[in-house]
């Protein structure tokens, strides 16, 4: 299965981006690391719309 998010993560890390998972982001955390631009994701879930043919083998969900 094509995993676009893994590819993006690898590219970001290779470019020097620090990625933290399962981390509480507080004012102290932001001040300590002083990021250029913090990107905060608060969770996600795969949503598959109820459309015709979405269950076919050639349909690959990417989240």
- Kindly report, residue by residue over 10-52, the tens digit of the pLDDT: 999 999 998 888 888 888 988 898 888 888 777 677 777 788 8
Handedness of CA 6, 8, 14, 16 (dihedral sign): negative
34 assigned to some structural domain? yes
29 assigned to some structural domain? yes
Q: How is residue 26 written in tokens?
A: 């507080």
Q: Would you say 61 and 3 are in contact if contact means Cβ atoms under 8 Å apart?
A: no
Give the confidence band of 1 by pLDDT, cuts at 50, 70, 90: very low
**Domain carrying residue 34:** 20-50
Neighbour-count burial for 21-49, b at 16+ CB within 10 Å, e otherwise: eeeeeeeeeeeeeeeeeeeeeeeeeeeee
39 assigned to some structural domain? yes
pTM score: 0.51
């Amino acid at each position: 299965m094509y995993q676009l998010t893994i590819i993006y993560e690898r590219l970001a890390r290779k470019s020097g981006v620090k990625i933290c998972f399962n981390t509480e982001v507080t004012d102290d955390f932001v001040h300590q690391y002083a990021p250029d631009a913090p990107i905060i994701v608060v969770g996600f879930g795969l949503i598959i719309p109820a459309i015709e043919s979405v269950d076919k083998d050639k349909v690959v969900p990417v989240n």
